[in-house]
Structure 1
Amino acid sequence: MTETGPMPATTEDDHYGDVAVELSGERGEMLTVSGERIPRTTLTRAPGAEVDDHIAIGTRDPRHLTLSVDGDEATIVPGKGRLRRRSYRVDVRCAGVSYRLVPDSIPGSRLIRDGKHIGDFSSDGDRKVIAEWREGAAVEPLDAAVGYTLAAAFGTGGQPMWMMMADAISTALP
């Protein structure tokens, strides 16, 4: 990957038109989400942070992540990503609004704003993100910006615990 990185991945959102996701830096230190009708977000991994190649942004450690939305800092707290699907959640507090992206199926995650499920996201970690907004949800530009950022940076979905345990057991057997 070069200093500027590959071309941004672009998705057409039903509410907000084209949304671009760009991962830049030699080791993917910065993820930027932008579009004509959404605020620009930047998620940055601190220099020197240990990099996990299974995570697009490289870490789940909140001490090494900085999120800004339209230039204003937001708080981001990813779960540790352990055995339980729910441990892969990512929480954000931005402009007085609380968000949570949490896996709810093998391929997808739900976006929750202030306790209400407003959309579903899927991404394989390749910067391509698909959003499906819940019917009747009053989706705001900030919701889209945060949802696309979290889905692109951390991926979506997760196996249920019983499936992970079955995989671990079958791997351990001769």
Structure 2
Amino acid sequence: MTDPAETADAPAATAGAPTSAAPTATEDDHYGEISVELTGEHGEVLVVSGENIPRVTLTRAPGAGIDDHIAIGTRVPDHLTLTVDGRDATIRPAKGRLSRRSYRVDVTYAGTSYRLVPDSIPSSRLTRDGKRIGDFSSDGDRRVVAEWRAEAAGAAIEPLDAAIGYALAAAFGTGGQPMWMMAVDVVSEALP
């Protein structure tokens, strides 16, 4: 993903960070304008909303360490709360280490399972109950681009799909280098 290495959720120097940034808006092919907003003294609340989708709120726990490579600040599941229109969902980001798969983020809500996992350098795929329904790109700046693939999965895109996909892509970024490229980077940095 856009966060190349996890820094063990160590606090970052964001004490002077603004309490709110202007929301970013994206025009989605299926659901119109979708807004992504990161608020709070240290960016601890990410809200995705739109006229045609449910409101998704991802909140980092007070006092949790902040990793400045991650928009929401952490990949520790116990430090994150996800709600959809005020109702709890379960979120489980993986640790984000060497492999692309280690950057996956799983969400379960109302009996439906979602996964956002990198599948190329710039993008990640979103699956719903194991079927690929879209591809997302985001550089960690809250700007998200979605390309829906429901026809290939034989499924319709639902408003919840868009809300969850945009929230995960904005909060955790997308894409990731393959493991062999990371290994080459590590070796080349170790050489004199």
TM-score bracket for this pair, using the shorter chain length: over 0.9
Query: What's 1:25 paired with?
Result: 40
SS at match of 1:162: helix
Greater relative contact order: 1 or 2 (C-alpha under 8 angstroms, separation 6 or more)? Answer: 2
Question: Which sections of structure 2, spanning at least 5 residues, go unmatched?
Answer: 1-16
- The CA distance in 2 between the partners of 1:148 and 1:135, in whole Å, is 16
**Alpha-carbon separation, structure 2, partners of 1:70 and 1:132:** 24
Matched residue, 2:9 = none
Report the equivalent of 1:167: 185
- Paired position in structure 1 for 2:13: none
Q: Which of 57, 60, 63 in structure 2 is aligned with 1:42? A: 57
Q: Please give the secondary structure, in 1, of the residue aligned with 2:147.
A: strand
Q: Superposition RMSD on alpha carbons, in Å?
A: 0.7
CA distance in 2, matches of 1:85, 1:41: 25
Under a length normalisation based on structure 2, what TM-score does the superposition of the two structures give? 0.89
**Identical aligned pairs, as a percentage?**
74
Deviations 1:12-51 (A, max 9, x none): 0000000000000121100000000000000000001010
Q: Decide whether the 8 Å contact of 2:150 with 2:157 is kept in 1.
A: no
Residue 99 of structure 1 is matched in structure 2 by 114
Deviation at 1:135, TM superposition (A): 4.9
User: When the two structures are aligned, how many residues end up with a matched partner?
Assistant: 173
CA distance in 1, matches of 2:146, 2:42: 26
Question: Structure 1 stretches (4+) deviating beyond 3 angstroms?
Answer: none
1:158 and 2:173 correspond: no
Out of 114, 123, 129, the position equivalent to 1:114 is: 129
Partner of 2:86: 71
In 2, Cα distance between equivalents of 1:139 and 1:121: 14
